[in-house]
A and B are shown apart, each in its own frame.
Chain A
Amino acid sequence: MDSSSVSKNDKPNLHIPRNFTAVLLAGLVLLGICVVASLVLGSRLVSVKELIDGLFHPDMDSYGAGVVHKRISRTVFGLFCGAALGVSGALMQAVTRNPIADPSILGVNSGASLFVVCGIAFLNISTANEYIGLALAGAAITAVFVFGIGSMGSGGATPIKLVLAGAATSAALSSLVTAIMIPRSYVMDQFRFWQVGSVGSATWNAIAAFSPFLIVGILIAGVTAPALNALALGDEAATGLGVRTGVLRLVAALAGVLLCGATTALAGPIGFVGLLSTHVMRLVLGPDLRFVIPMSAIAGAVILTVSDVTGRLIGSPGEFEVGVVTAFIGAPLLIILAKRSKVRSL
C-alpha cells in the first residue's frame, strides 16, 4: 500500500472496526456483570455463599440456593431473549434500510401476542411449541401487513410511513388483545404477561423450545450480514454487486421474524431492545453489519438483563415486568431518533 502520506497509525483498517476488540471485551465484561447481578439481586438479596451453593452444589437445599436456582433459568432465558431481540432489530433495520425499525415499533410483537392470546382463549394451547408456532404466524402476517401498508404511495417504505403503519397496527392489535382478555378473567393471570413482556416465568422447557429458533435466526443473520452490507448501499448498487435483493430481503426478514416471534411467544412483547442495542452498537462500531449484528446480540442480552434486574429492584417486594422497563428506556430514544433529520435520508 502506498503510505507516503498516511502515517502508520492512520493505516486504514479495512476489515475490522478499530475499536472492535475493546467493544467486544467491554460487552463480555458487562455481560458477566449482568449475569451475576441477575443471580444475586432481586427482592431477596443472595449472599456469595448462597450463590456458590446454588450454582455448584445442586443438591444443596437452602432457601438462598433455591432462589439462585430459579434465577438461573430466568437469567439464561433473559440473555437468550435479549440476544434474539437485538439481532432481530438489526435485521429489520437492515432489511427495511430504516433506522427506527424494531419488532415492537413495526407491530410485529403485537401480532405475535394477538395470535398467542387467541390460541389461549380459543384453542386451549399449552405447550411451548404451540405458543411459538402461533406467535411466528402472527409475527409473519403482521410484518407483511405493516410493510405492505408502509410501502404504499410514493417513495416506497419510508421510515416515517413504516413507523406510522406499525404504530397504528400495533394499537389496533393491542386493543384486540385486550378485548379478548377482558371477558375471560379466569385466565387473566395467564394472559397478563402477554401485555407487558416478562422473563420471570421462564422454565427450562421453554428455553429448550426457544433455543433452535435462536440458533437458526442468528446463523441466518450471520450468513446474510455481508449481503446486507451491500443492500445498505441501495437496491441498485446491491444488485450490481451480485446480491439477489428479493431473496435476501425475504430470508433476512424471515430470520428477524423467527427471532422476535419466538421471543414474544415465550416472554410476551418486550419492546425497544432491538432498537436500543443496534443503535448503541452502530454508534460505537460504525455501520458494518458483519460486526453490528453479532454485537447487537450481546448488547441486547445486556440491555434485557439490566432491565429485568432494574424491574426487580424498583418493584420490590414484587417486580416490574421487563417489558415495562424497556419501554421506559426505549421510548425517549425513539423520540430522539425520529427527530434527527438523517433518519429520513437513510
Chain B
Amino acid sequence: MTPTHLFQAERITAGYDHRTVIQKVGLAIPSQRISVIIGANGCGKSTLLKTLARLIQPTSGQITLDGKPIRQIPPKPLARVIGLLPQSPIVPEGISVADLVGRGRYPHQSLFSGWTKKDEEAVAEAMRIMDITELANHSIDELSGGQRQRVWIAMALAQQTDILLLDEPTTFLDITYQIEILDLLTDLNRKHGTTIVMVLHDINLSARYADHIFALLKGKLVAEGEPSKVITSALVKEIFGLDCTVIEDPVSGSPMVVPIGRYHRGT
C-alpha cells in the first residue's frame, strides 16, 4: 500500500512577478484522501496548486514534504513522490499514446538505465487503469477530448507517485467524461491509496468527489473540511457571492448547491 505523507503548505504567499495572489495560506493535505480546492475565478486556487507542485516559488513560507522543504529535495526524487497534471500540457505532434504515457517514467530513469522492464510494466499498468490499452499505438491527434485526458492522467500514473496534483482535470470535457474522469481518479484513490489534490470548477462535483474541501477567497483559505460540513449556503454566498439553497444530492448524499437567480427564487 502507498505510504502516507505529510504534505504541507506553511504560511505561503505566492503570485506572479510582483502580483501577490495567495496570502499566508497554511494547510496540510490529508494523506490518501481526495482534496479539492474550490473558489471563484481569480481567487488563487490554481496558484495554490502550482505552488504545491513547485511550479511557482512562494515569496514567503514554504511547502514541506514529510517535514522537509521541497526546495531542498532534488527534482527527480521529488517527482517520484509528487506528480502533476497541468491544466494545458502540450501534445508533441504525432506522438502515440504509449510514447506519451511512457514519458511519465522520466523521474525513474537514470542516464544509463535505459528502458527497463519496470518502466514497461508501469506504463502498461497506467494504461490499463485508464482503460486506454487498446489505444496504445494510436496518435493522440485521433482521440476525443475525454480519451486524451485519460492518456494524460495515465502519463501521470506511470510516474507512480504517492501524491497526484491535477489542475482542473475536467475542464473542456462533456459532463459524461467529467464523471468518467472523476470516477477513475476515485478508483485510483480507493484502490491504490493515492493522495489526490485537484482544482475543480464545479462545486457540486467537488462536493460529491472530495473527501476534503479547501475553500479560497481572494487568496486566503477561508474554510476547510468535509464537504458536508463546509459547503453551506453561507459559504457559497461568501466565496462566490451567490445566493443559493443547499440540499442533499439525491444520488450521493453530498451537499448540492442549487443557485438562486433573479428569475428563479423558489418558493
The residues of A with any CB-CB pair to B shorter than 8 Å are 1-2, 5-6, 10, 12-15, 97, 99, 223, 226-227, 229-230, 232-234, 236-237, 239-244, 282, 286-288, 342, 346
Per the 8 Å Cβ criterion, residues 6-54 of B in contact with A are 50, 53-54
Interface residues of B in 130-144 (CB under 8 A from A): 133-134, 136-137
A299 → chain B closest CB, angstroms: 17
A99–B93 contact, CB under 8 A?
Answer: yes
Query: Is B90 touching A227 in the complex (CB atoms < 8 A)?
Result: no
8 Å CB contact of B92 from A12, A240, A287: A287
Q: Which residues of the partner chain A approach B53 to less than 8 Å between Cβ atoms?
A: 236, 239-240
Is B124 engaged at the interface, CB distance under 8 Å to the other chain? yes
Q: From residue 108 to 156 of chain B, which have CB atoms closer than 8 A to chain A?
A: 109, 111, 114-115, 119-121, 123-124, 128, 133-134, 136-137, 155-156
- Of B94, B102, B134, which contacts A5 at CB under 8 A? B134
B106 in complex: contacting residue of A13, A15, A234, A241, CB < 8 Å: A241
- Given A6-B134, A239-B55, A230:B93 Cβ within 8 A: no
Q: Do B107 and A14 touch across chains, with their CB atoms under 8 A apart?
A: no
Ranked 9 nearest A-B pairs via Cβ? A242-B79, A240-B84, A15-B115, A12-B136, A236-B86, A12-B98, A242-B107, A242-B76, A234-B90
B79 contacts which of A6, A15, A240 (Cβ < 8 Å)? A240
B95 and A287 form a contact (CB under 8 A):
yes
A interface, over-half SS: loop
Q: How far is the CA of A244 from the CA of B82 in the complex (A)?
A: 15
Contacts of A6 on B, CB cut-off 8 Å?
A: 133-134, 136
- In the complex, A242 Cα to B104 Cα: how many Å? 10
Interface assignment of B159: CB less than 8 Å from any CB of chain A:
yes
Task: Report chain A residues within 8 Å CB of B124.
Answer: 1-2
A232 contact set on B, CB distance < 8 A: 90, 92
Chain A residues, Cβ within 8 Å of B252: none
Contacts of A287 in B (CB 8 A): 92-95, 99
Residues of A within 8 A of B136 (CB): 6, 10, 12
- Residue numbers in A under 8 Å from B102 (CB-CB): 14-15
How long is the Cα–Cα vector from A64 to B48 in the complex, in angstroms? 73
> Within the complex, which residue of B93, B103, B120 is in contact with A233, where a contact is CB–CB below 8 Å?
B103
Report the Cα distance A313→B137, complex, angstroms: 44
How far is B109's CA from A286's CA once the two chains are assembled, in angstroms? 21
CA distance A15 to B122 in the complex (A): 13
Query: Given the interface contacts A2-B128, A14-B123, A234-B86, does A243 sit within 8 Å of B75 by beta carbon?
Result: yes
Query: Is B85 an interface residue, CB under 8 A from the partner?
Result: yes
In the bound complex, do residue B78 and residue A242 qualify as a contact, i.e. CB atoms below 8 Å apart?
Answer: yes
